[in-house]
Amino acid sequence: MSYNLLKGKRGIIFGALNDMSIAWKVAERAVEEGAAITLTNTPVAVRMGETAELGKKLNAEILPADATNVEDLEMVFSKSMEILGGKIDFVLHSIGMSPNVRKKRTYDDLDYDLLDKTLAVSAISFHKTLQVAKKLDAIAEGGSVVALSYVAAQRTFFGYNDMADAKALLESIARSFGYIYGREKGVRVNTVSQSPTMTTAGSGVKGITDLIDFSERMSPIGNATAADCADYCIVMFSDLTRKVTMQNLYHDGGFSSMGMSLRAMKQYSSGLDEYKDEKGKVIYG
Ligand SMILES: NC(=O)c1ccc[n+]([C@@H]2O[C@H](COP(=O)([O-])OP(=O)(O)OC[C@H]3O[C@@H](n4cnc5c(N)ncnc54)[C@H](O)[C@@H]3O)[C@@H](O)[C@H]2O)c1
pLDDT range class, residue 235, cuts 50, 70, 90: very high
pLDDT range class, residue 284, cuts 50, 70, 90: low
pLDDT range class, residue 242, cuts 50, 70, 90: very high
- Please indicate whether residue 95, judged by its CB atom, sits closer than 6 Å to ligand 1: yes
- Top-confidence residue, 267 or 142: 142
Tell me the C-alpha distance between 86 and 192, whole Å. 26
Arithmetic mean of pLDDT, 90-106: 96
Tell me the C-alpha distance between 119 and 112, whole Å. 10
The overall average pLDDT reported for the chain is 94
- Please indicate whether residue 121, judged by its CB atom, sits closer than 6 Å to ligand 1: yes
78 CA to middle of ligand 1, Å?
23
Residues in the chain: 285
> Which of 18, 21, 54, 75 has most ligand 1 atoms within 8 Å of its beta carbon, as the pocket-test mutant?
21
Residue 43 · residue 68 · CB < 8 Å: no
Nearest-CA residue for atom 39 of ligand 1: 15
- Please indicate whether residue 42, judged by its CB atom, sits closer than 6 Å to ligand 1: yes
Task: Sort 231 into a burial class: Cβ within 10 Å, 0-12 / 13-18 / 19+.
Answer: middle
Q: Which domains does the chain have, with CATH numbers?
A: 10-270 (3.40.50.720)
How does pLDDT run across 162-221, given as a tens digit for each residue? 999 999 999 999 999 999 999 999 999 999 999 999 998 888 887 889 899 999 999 999
- Please indicate whether residue 191, judged by its CB atom, sits closer than 6 Å to ligand 1: no
How does pLDDT run across 119-163, given as a tens digit for each residue? 999 999 999 999 999 999 999 999 999 999 999 999 999 889 999
pLDDT at residue number 207: 83
> The pTM is what?
0.96
Arithmetic mean of pLDDT, 27-38: 98
95 CA to middle of ligand 1, Å?
4
pLDDT at residue number 279: 78
What number does the ligand 1 atom closest to the CA of 45 have? 37
Amino acid sitting at position 257:
S
- Please indicate whether residue 94, judged by its CB atom, sits closer than 6 Å to ligand 1: yes
Residue 24 · residue 52 · CB < 8 Å: no
6 CA to middle of ligand 1, Å?
23
> Which of 13, 199, 206, 216 has most ligand 1 atoms within 8 Å of its beta carbon, as the pocket-test mutant?
199
Instruction: Say whether pLDDT at 97 is over 90.
Output: yes
Tell me the C-alpha distance between 172 and 161, whole Å. 18
